[in-house]
Structure 1
Amino acid sequence: MPEIVQLLASPVHRLAGRPADGPAPAPPDELVGEIQLRAGLGVVGDRYFAKPAHRNASVTIIARESLPPGVDLVQVRRNILTAGLSVDDLIGAVLTLDSGDGPVRLRVNRPANPCAWMDVTIGPGAFRALRRRGGVRCTPLDDGVLRLGPVRATVDREAVGA
């Protein structure tokens, strides 16, 4: 069964400016045990919540299998880290996740392409290594809660207009 390994809701942009200047410090409470999602708005408390420019990319998901050992959401700045779920193959589908509090549908809109910051936060070569494996950008279609642990996941490739 797939699992949600980590969740991140960060109110701050850590990767701003030039990578050579280094990232801003991470807030101590950005890795959380649960996140609240709002339809069309994103993750409550996250830096992209309700931002018009990010409505189609307000929730980001990446698979643990895409990352080097020991790398987590603090380094890649995605919201949801899964295990056992190949998210990069889901562009155009609706992914439904249920971690025990009811289903939350996410429209998978486009890849979450890596940037040059990955060579700084993870290590040299990470930017290239994460191409086509950097996760996906989604829009939540429902209000709901996602928690760490096992998750029921279903994929609807026909629900493009949902």
Structure 2
Amino acid sequence: MPEIVQLLASPAHRFTGRPADGPAPAPPGELVGHVRIRAGLGIEGDRYFARPAHRDASVTVIAAESLPPGAGLAEVRRNILVRGIAVDDLVGAVLTLDSGDGPVALQVRRRANPCAWMDVTVGPGAWRNLRGRGGIRCTPLTDGTLRLGAVTVSID
């Protein structure tokens, strides 16, 4: 059964400057048990919430199957880590997730391509290994809440 494994709502960018200098410290409480999503705006409390330049890609989703053991959202800076959903194949589709509080529809706009930071935060070779498997960037179409655990999925 598909599930939401981790959720991240971070108020701060951690990957600034050069990867060789390392990421900034993680803000406390960025890995959360639930997120509130607002249509056209993103995830409340996240660094991209209501930012005009990011509204068409304010929510990012990545599959746990794409990551090596031990890696998670803190390393790849995506918002939603799922298991059992092939998200990288969904560009152009509407992905709807329901973790028990009602459906949240996400318009999948484009791939979330990995960057050189992945070699620092995930491990050597991750940048190359995550090409084509780095997740997706989405626009939220509906308001709602997503929680950790089992999730019902529909793809249109």
Shorter-chain TM-score tier = over 0.9
Alignment TM-score, normalising by the size of structure 1: 0.96
Matches within 5 A, 1:1-162: 1-156=1-156
Deviation at 1:92, TM superposition (A): 0.1
The 2-side partners of 1:128 and 1:153 are apart by 29
Q: What is the CA deviation profile of residues 74-122 of structure 1, one whole-angstrom value per residue up to 9, with x for unaligned ones?
A: 0000000000000000000000000000001000000000000000101
Distance 2:28 2:2 in 1: 27
Q: Percent identity?
A: 75
SS at structure 2 position matched to 1:23: coil
Structure 1 segments of 4+ aligned residues over 2 angstroms from their partners? none
CA distance in 2, matches of 1:132, 1:80: 17
SS at match of 2:75: helix
Once the 2 structures are TM-superposed, how far is the Cα of residue 27 of structure 1 from its aligned partner? 1.3
* 2-structure distance, mates of 1:124, 1:5: 24
Q: Partner amino acid for 1:35?
A: V
Find the aligned partners of 2:53 and 2:40 in 1 and give their Cα distance.
12
Amino acid at match of 1:139: T
String of CA shifts for 1:9-54, please: whole Å, max 9, x gaps: 0000000111111100001200000000000000000000000010
User: TM-score under structure 2 normalisation?
Assistant: 0.99
- Runs of 5+ consecutive residues of structure 2 not aligned to the other structure: none
**Runs of 5+ consecutive residues of structure 1 not aligned to the other structure:** 157-162
The whole-number CA distance in structure 2 between the counterparts of 1:111 and 1:78 is 12
Supply the distance in 2 between the matched residues of 1:20 and 1:118 (Cα, whole angstroms).
11
